[in-house]
Structure 1
Amino acid sequence: MREQSFAGLPVLVVDDDHSVLHATAAVLHSAGVAKVQMVDDSRELLPALERQPASAVLLDLFMPHVTGNELLPEIVRLYPELPVIVMTAAQDVDTAVLSMKEGAFDYLVKPVEESRLLASVRHALEVQSLRRQMGALKHYLLSDCLQNGEAFAGIVTNSRKMRALFQYLEAVAASAEPVLISGETGAGKEMFAHALHRLSGLAGQFVQVNVAGLDDTLFSDTLFGHRKGAFTGADQNRPGLIAQAGGGTLFLDEIGDLSMASQVKLLRLLQEHMYFPLGSDVARPSDARVVCATNHNLAQAMRQNQFRSDLFYRLSVHQVEVPPLREHKEDIPLLLQHFLDEAATAINKTGPEPSNELITLLSNYHFPGNVRELRAMVFNAMALHRGGSVLAMESFRVAIQKQQKANIDDSTAEPPGGLPVIIPGRFPTLDEVEEAMVKEALRRAGGNQGIAATLLGLSRPALNRRLARRVLQANC
């Protein structure tokens, strides 16, 4: 349970008994609630709420001056979305029923068991967080605006689809829940995770780890750390990445490759917000916000018993699916210029201009490696550039043709888009298919035969021979 995920608002504990106040605050602090405000005079509660909003209130019913029974309806009237948890020594059903009717979120009888107290507060904070998120989502969906556009400065785009994801991230940035970022390799998942961390306003670090290559023991040691003597070679205490990410963001990349044993440990961390360093029997609280990324289809992995369903549903409260580059091709000219400027600066060259022909070629390419592949193409082209004001296209043609040949050579590869080829009606001949493909390639290339040849995986002379043969056949 992490208070910093609720916009930094404190939990207010109201009781005239100082021993109860301090004991309750200690329990909340031990569970990771950083801010707990104690109020020992019931007359000070409403002024305190007016000065500083709260994430939840723990309210005793029987106090001098102003009773909890009198305060409860006032709090509900003035702050209808603020969860109020009643705590009292009265084991009276009528009192409990009346409190719930007046708007109490929960009713706890003193002495309250620690687990019961924490469960109630955790539930209240989760509900409060969801209310805030729903309000934020409504605001962003209706206003179509970004309040923190600078957080996305590293993501180059003019796409409405990408902008919609930015708005969603702004809405959920302050949530306590994990965020699952999915998308193909090279689509930019890590950049979205960094943007989310900046939006959250967390004071702690952004700590990243790729869990794909970690076995269960290494995963536990990396995340949880160890005590001196926990295993052979552990000659000193070592904090794990969870401790390093305290008050910040823990980014777990390639979560779909996590072993089943490690999945259980991650699930326990997310549920309890507590963990045990290796060799220690003392639990430590975690207030790191967990963000995960994967290029796997986790729903399919669950059906194949390769990923736990309970962990999936814990991770996917907030989901962001980063689209592949082929689904926002309007960004290709912008990205191309951005990477040209970046590459020119890196190798201290004057950046040439991309031709319209190059933009047409790239706009017709499938980009299986997404934005990362485009960046690699541009940096390679800049390294090979030998002067002139226009960037040469040859290295791009070669890269695209190599990828197309690799797809042909891979007998297990699916058709583009992962869909089967469906041919309704009469089955066409090879000549008819070839003619249709050549026409479509020329259409997409805007009549440019060089680009059309690249799209078809042919050399320019080979396409010219086919076109000449077609003309000859048509004249016969």
Structure 2
Amino acid sequence: MTMALHPSRPILIVDDEPSILLAIDTTLQMAGLNHTITCQDSRRVMDLLADTPIESMLLDLNMPNVDGHRLLDDVRQEYPDIPVIIVTGAVDVETAVRCIKAGAFDYIVKPVEADRLVTAVNRAISFQELRRENQSLRRHMLRDDLEHPEAFRNIITANPKMLTLFQYVESIAATSQPVLIRGETGVGKELIARAIHRLSGLKGRFVAVNAAGLDDTIFSDTLFGHAKGAFTGADSPRGGLIEQADGGTLFLDEIGDLTQASQVKLLRLLQEGEYFALGDDLPRSSNARIIAATNQRLSTLLKENRFRKDLNYRLQTHRIVVPPLRERLEDVPLLVDHFIAAAASSLNKPRPSVPDALMTLLTGYFYPGNVRELESMIFDAVSRHQSGPLSIASIQAHIDREQTAGGSGMSSPAVYDSGDPPISFSHRLPTLKEAAQLLVAEAMRRSGGNQSKASKMLGVSQQALSKRLKKASD
């Protein structure tokens, strides 16, 4: 399997000694930084920079022809965005200060320590990614539309919150930093992850792993693979899904279900880019971009010591919260139209028309299962359809069951960390009568004055709501 190049732009190593070039290049390669260019002749550096976009540069100071001090000045003047790391045998403080003042990103003394070198280069790469991300964010703040709408073609929405989310996704997609996507079950977290991958420019695959219910051994074997003889039946070595995601994106769903042991292994993968296959003592490198998702309250898991704080911090470099369907009800008609067409095509049936009563029913529902639940309801209704307009009987029955089981069609509060409770209170608690009046007023506002829809939101009959409204107006 061909190892994907990392970083996307090469690291330029400049030194007049072949042995030093080889040593530095080998150290970086072993650390997974395998996209490098070496240059022994300092006179070629500016031509190389003119022809090739560079991620960062390692520069020796004492070289014949053009020395490092002059090259540093030239690079800073013509290519100020390239981080230049000085690598030299000069150990005096004066030289180091002069280089830093001239614009060097870092300063390393020979003989080079491997850890120090890799840390400096990784810092330079992170700096470049942050700079590009900030540029992208500024660019998107000045726009009201999307640069690449085709990346979101599988997400059907007309909601302003979702458009803002898409713009943020465009701005962070090209970085290698991890992303944490939160949201209730069925909102489309994997669709967002796939959009990030499409926009990332990564050449590798998108590989999804659902961590729900996996113990540490199964998780490790699935993700990292195993060596021959690692356990009974392991007659040959096998690579894990992390290898399949090389140079691409690894999507880890339901990370709130990971065991403590699995969390430690995921943390190492995120921090060091390394992992161990089961039964293997030698670490392996990975440059897959990690996107994680959860529908659980991580704050609760942290308080209960079921989720590591350091892993939580490492995952949340970029955070995305996908709003539930009940907060974007304008998407319901679009989704219904799409799901009816898809179901009719899948079932090889003529596409039924949509009765007005169906939209009234669906736009007043709470959707504890979000978009996935709506898709299931529509598919079931189309599968039962015979002729004429689509019957709402099966959909009404489903909603009635949810209302009975969940209380007025209202599911339990959102399970992701939105930070907003279903109801907030001021210092003075309202009376029950005032609370009832406020609920009725809010339901009428959300339903656009439609009593039938408002009564379904409140879990009361339309007659009961009508009486309350009449009593309030008297």
Q: Which residue of 2 aligns with 1:298?
A: 298
Residue 350 of structure 1: how far off its partner (Å): 1.5
Q: 1:230 to 1:69 in 2, by over 3 A?
A: same
Alignment of 1:149-298 (within 5 A): 149-298=149-298
Q: Using the alignment, how far apart are the partners of 1:401 and 1:373 within structure 2?
A: 14
Q: Which residue of 1 aligns with 2:433?
A: 428
* Residue correspondences, number: 464
Residue 207 of structure 1: how far off its partner (Å): 1.1
Q: Which residue of 1 aligns with 2:36?
A: 36
Give the counterpart letter for 2:371 in structure 1. Answer: V
1:389-441 CA-to-partner distances (Å, cap 9, x unmatched) read x3222222222121111113999956996437899555439xx9599859956
Residue 357 of structure 1: how far off its partner (Å): 3.0
Asked whether the 8 Å contact 2:368–2:411 carries over to 1, the reply is no
Q: Using the alignment, how far apart are the partners of 1:144 and 1:433 within structure 2?
A: 39
Q: Which residue of 1 aligns with 2:403?
A: 404
Q: Using the alignment, how far apart are the partners of 1:442 and 1:113 within structure 2?
A: 66
Over the aligned positions, Cα root-mean-square deviation in angstroms equals 3.0
Q: Using the alignment, how far apart are the partners of 1:39 and 1:439 within structure 2?
A: 69
Residue 473 of structure 1: how far off its partner (Å): 11
Alignment of 1:70-469 (within 5 A): 70-388=70-388, 390-408=389-407, 413=412, 418-419=422-423, 424=429, 426-428=431-433, 444=447, 447=450, 449=452, 451=453, 454-455=456-457, 457=459
Q: Using the alignment, how far apart are the partners of 1:216 and 1:294 within structure 2?
A: 18
Residue 90 of structure 1: how far off its partner (Å): 1.2
Q: 1:154 to 1:108 in 2, by over 3 A?
A: same
Gaps of at least 5 residues in structure 2 are 415-419
Residue 319 of structure 1: how far off its partner (Å): 1.0
Q: Using the alignment, how far apart are the partners of 1:435 and 1:175 within structure 2?
A: 46
Asked whether the 8 Å contact 2:13–2:57 carries over to 1, the reply is yes
Asked whether the 8 Å contact 1:3–1:32 carries over to 2, the reply is no
Q: 1:425 to 1:408 in 2, by over 3 A?
A: closer
Q: Using the alignment, how far apart are the partners of 1:234 and 1:169 within structure 2?
A: 41
Q: 1:470 to 1:453 in 2, by over 3 A?
A: closer
Asked whether the 8 Å contact 1:340–1:378 carries over to 2, the reply is yes
Structure 1 stretch 64-73 or stretch 434-443: which is displaced more? 434-443
Q: 1:417 to 1:369 in 2, by over 3 A?
A: farther
Residue 116 of structure 1: how far off its partner (Å): 0.8
Q: Secondary structure at the match of 1:319?
A: strand
1:343-364 CA-to-partner distances (Å, cap 9, x unmatched) read 1101111212223332232222
Q: Using the alignment, how far apart are the partners of 1:438 and 1:86 within structure 2?
A: 67
Residue 202 of structure 1: how far off its partner (Å): 1.5
Q: Could you state the TM-score of these two structures normalised by the residue count of structure 1?
A: 0.90
Residue 296 of structure 1: how far off its partner (Å): 1.1
1:1-35 CA-to-partner distances (Å, cap 9, x unmatched) read x99565x2100000111111122111111111231
Asked whether the 8 Å contact 1:25–1:36 carries over to 2, the reply is yes
Q: Using the alignment, how far apart are the partners of 2:154 and 2:52 within structure 1?
A: 35
Gaps of at least 5 residues in structure 1 are none
Q: Using the alignment, how far apart are the partners of 2:357 and 2:403 within structure 1?
A: 19
Q: Secondary structure at the match of 1:133?
A: helix
Q: Secondary structure at the match of 1:428?
A: helix
Q: Using the alignment, how far apart are the partners of 2:6 and 2:364 within structure 1?
A: 43
Q: 1:424 to 1:269 in 2, by over 3 A?
A: closer
1:14-57 CA-to-partner distances (Å, cap 9, x unmatched) read 01111111221111111112310111111111111111110000
Asked whether the 8 Å contact 1:441–1:456 carries over to 2, the reply is no
1:284-306 CA-to-partner distances (Å, cap 9, x unmatched) read 11111111010012123222211
1:118-148 CA-to-partner distances (Å, cap 9, x unmatched) read 0110111111110110101111111233222
Q: Using the alignment, how far apart are the partners of 2:281 and 2:438 within structure 1?
A: 72
Q: Using the alignment, how far apart are the partners of 1:84 and 1:264 within structure 2?
A: 34
Q: Secondary structure at the match of 2:142?
A: helix
Q: 1:75 to 1:410 in 2, by over 3 A?
A: same
Give the counterpart letter for 1:288 in structure 2. Answer: A
Q: Secondary structure at the match of 2:64?
A: coil
Q: Using the alignment, how far apart are the partners of 2:439 and 2:210 within structure 1?
A: 45
Structure 1 stretch 143-152 or stretch 18-27: which is displaced more? 143-152
Give the counterpart letter for 2:402 in structure 1. Answer: Q
Question: Is 1:64 paired with 2:86?
Answer: no
Residue 88 of structure 1: how far off its partner (Å): 0.5
Identity in percent: 48
Q: Using the alignment, how far apart are the partners of 1:468 and 1:262 within structure 2?
A: 55
